[in-house]
Structure 1
């Protein structure tokens, strides 16, 4: 009940160019609102002194009011001072001053060709640094893989099997459905165009080459990048947030052997298998649509597929799978190790890993296509 009866008295006396504010009572959170309204009508273009001789109690809210009054007086070009300040009050005022947020006046953003070139330069340098970090992380994986091959007792077979199930087996339904629909779309769209020239039979070649060389493994890698890169980043990032990785190092366990090698090896093993499933389902979807739309029987489709499509197209697609697997695994694990100690960082790095992995996969596929075109494969 005593706290509710707190009062503050306000007195103003002027002596020449100086105004003296005399306060008495409790300068606390229950009285600052009244004082702030009264102080709002004061002018701060002169010398202002606050006398605290009659103040019986002051808390953080009262100290904030005095510090705010001091800042307003200084901003208006006047002077501000305090009288009869106890040591405890002075210490409280100093703490409030240090905790008071300071407004940062950011310089205006530069414009023009020079600013544009600077932004481009910074982006290029940042991209090169990121590529260098990924290269170093790839080297770390290869080094830890070499250690595991020299010392098989360190290999975590159970973790590899678990990650193979998560990366490969659980991705089969979505990969198969996606590839089947892609084959259906290719057959339908191809038949519409080739029918104009009476070359409907060549829709088989269109489906086979498109699925086996490019779309089968590329779209599979994109789906796996969305599923797996985010999963790797989230799992490793959560472990880093909970300081489990630091605990592993304290126990003498290498995170590269325990975390990175099983995950990336699982991708290396399962992505080619998923690619084969995608190729089969893509051809199956294309054959079904060609049968329904063009009347090409399954036996004719298989005959045309064997005669017009070499096994080289299948090998070209499968050769890309290990490279895509390395890209997805390295990007996901690297992003997980960059997570800081908060959930915002985890979400940002997870989404960034997905974008980076998909972009890197598409870029690598373009480079493979150019390379195979140059060598005539």
Structure 2
């Protein structure tokens, strides 16, 4: 067993002593050395560590603290022991326990600046991810054997078939609400019959595909982010790259294709169910029979309204899938990031869907599809 840590004092010519340490300067063998050093009251010019057998972080800290208090020079170490002491010295920095109480105005400006910079980085990253998705799609077109058919079909079921129940229920209730509120307001002008116009046009043109997109973003977009985020944490995606499998082709592309293909179908299904809900309320409260309701829908709803919804739907699907996959691929660190990125995916997808819907409204108005 190595000797316990100890030191001896040799007086110097200038009156300041030199301390020579011996033994094992480790936690297990320090003993009462720190207390003895604290009780040393003389001047020390030099600390000689050439005679020690071993030193660990605790021993290096004890020596460094004593040398700092007495302004003494440390010598006699080399190799790993010298590197350890240098790291201990570098780590001896004051720690601010509480943040400084700066100006509230500056803090608000700093938070706004950080949020703006983060939004800019996210936008640039999302554009780059969209480009990578398009490149992956082009690679699959050139090499059809790399297309993951089974994975895409499975995503069809997750995005589309499993969502029929909740999307149908939501759309049915929205159709009833639109018809009820429209009838209440139009009754003041004796125009209850125009409730059919309101239900037909607003569901096929706007609310059907928009509410479906919001539902898919909250349901499938969050699932995409959580699935890819978990795979990122468990290093499954890195393993795929190692064996030569492209994560964009194997994971992102099937989800994106499923969302693009199924969003028009879900949007049209949602619009039809909403019209049925509105027709049921018109039949029960306005005494408009279903045959007259359907005939009126065919008269007042132009085919362009159907086209508008079908054109917007695949764009919304692509945005939802890309946003979900992008946020999932950004997960790093710990499991908390999965929840944060999943939330960011849903918020980002819904925000972009609403912004794009506004642009589509202006565009279709300019080309005369109103």
Instruction: Judge same fold: TM > 0.5, yes or no.
Output: yes
The alpha-carbon distance between structure 1 residues 342 and 31, as it changes in their structure 2 partners (threshold 3 A), is: same
Indicate how the Cα distance of structure 1 residues 59 and 257 shifts in structure 2: closer, same or farther if over 3 A, else same: closer
What is the 5 A alignment of 1:280-291?
280-291=272-283
With over 3 angstroms needed to count, the CA separation of the structure-2 counterparts of 1:114 and 1:175, relative to structure 1, is closer
Q: Would you say 1:212 and 2:173 are equivalent positions? A: no
The reply to whether residue 94 of structure 1 matches residue 85 of structure 2 is: yes
C-alpha distance in structure 1 between counterparts of 2:356 and 2:108, whole Å: 31
| TM-superposed deviation, 1:320 | 0.4
Offset, 1:353: 1.2
Check if 1:258 corresponds to 2:250. yes
Deviations along 1:89-127, one digit per CA (max 9) or x if unpaired, are x779828825857445577757769984x8766655543
SS in 2 for 1:253: coil
Cα distance between partner residues in 2 of 1:150 and 1:139: 17
- 2:307 is the alignment partner of 1:315: yes
Quick check: 1:160–1:263 contact (8 Å CA) kept in 2?
A: yes
Unaligned runs of 5+ in 2: 1-14
Write the mapping of 1:187-198 to structure 2, written as runs, cut at 5 A: 187-198=179-190
Equivalent residue, structure 1, for 2:266: 274
Partner of 1:340: 332
Tell me what 1:180 maps to. 172
Structure 1 position 143 matched with structure 2 position 135: yes
Please say if 1:163 is aligned against 2:155.
yes
Does structure 2 conserve the Cα–Cα contact (< 8 Å) formed by 1:267 and 1:326? Answer: yes
Q: Per the alignment, do residues 282 and 108 of structure 1 end up closer, same or farther by CA in structure 2, a change over 3 Å counting?
A: same
Match of 1:375 in 2: 367
In 2, the alpha carbon distance for the partners of 1:202 and 1:181 equals: 19
State the match for 2:11 in structure 1: none
Equivalent position of 2:354 in the other structure = 362
Contact 1:167–1:228 (CA<8 Å) still a contact in 2? yes
How much is the aligned-residue C-alpha RMSD, in angstroms?
4.4
Change (3 A) 1:37 1:207: farther
Aligned residues: 365
**What is the CA–CA distance in structure 1 between the aligned matches of 2:204 and 2:166, rounded to whole Å?**
18
Would the aligned equivalents of 1:287 and 1:301 in 2 still touch at CA under 8 Å? Answer: yes
Unaligned runs of 5+ in 1: 1-16
**Residue of structure 2 equivalent to 1:9:** none
SS at match of 2:136: helix
CA contact (8 A) 1:64 1:96 kept: no
> Do the aligned residues in 1 keep the contact of 2:230 with 2:338 (CA within 8 Å)?
yes
Partner of 2:10: none
Dislocated runs of 4+, deviation >3 Å = 26-32, 34-43, 46-52, 57-71, 78-83, 85-88, 90-93, 98-116, 118-129
CA gap of 1:299–1:37, structure 2 versus 1, over 3 A, is farther
Cα 1:208/1:244, change in 2 over 3 Å: same
Paired with 2:159 and 2:244, the residues of 1 have a C-alpha distance of 28
TM-score by length of 1: 0.76
Structure 1 residue 240: deviation in Å?
2.3
Matched, 1:225 2:220: no
Q: 1:302 aligns with which of 290, 294, 302?
A: 294
SS in 1 for 2:321: helix
CA distance in 2, matches of 1:37, 1:296: 96
Deviates more, 1:326-335 or 1:161-170: 326-335
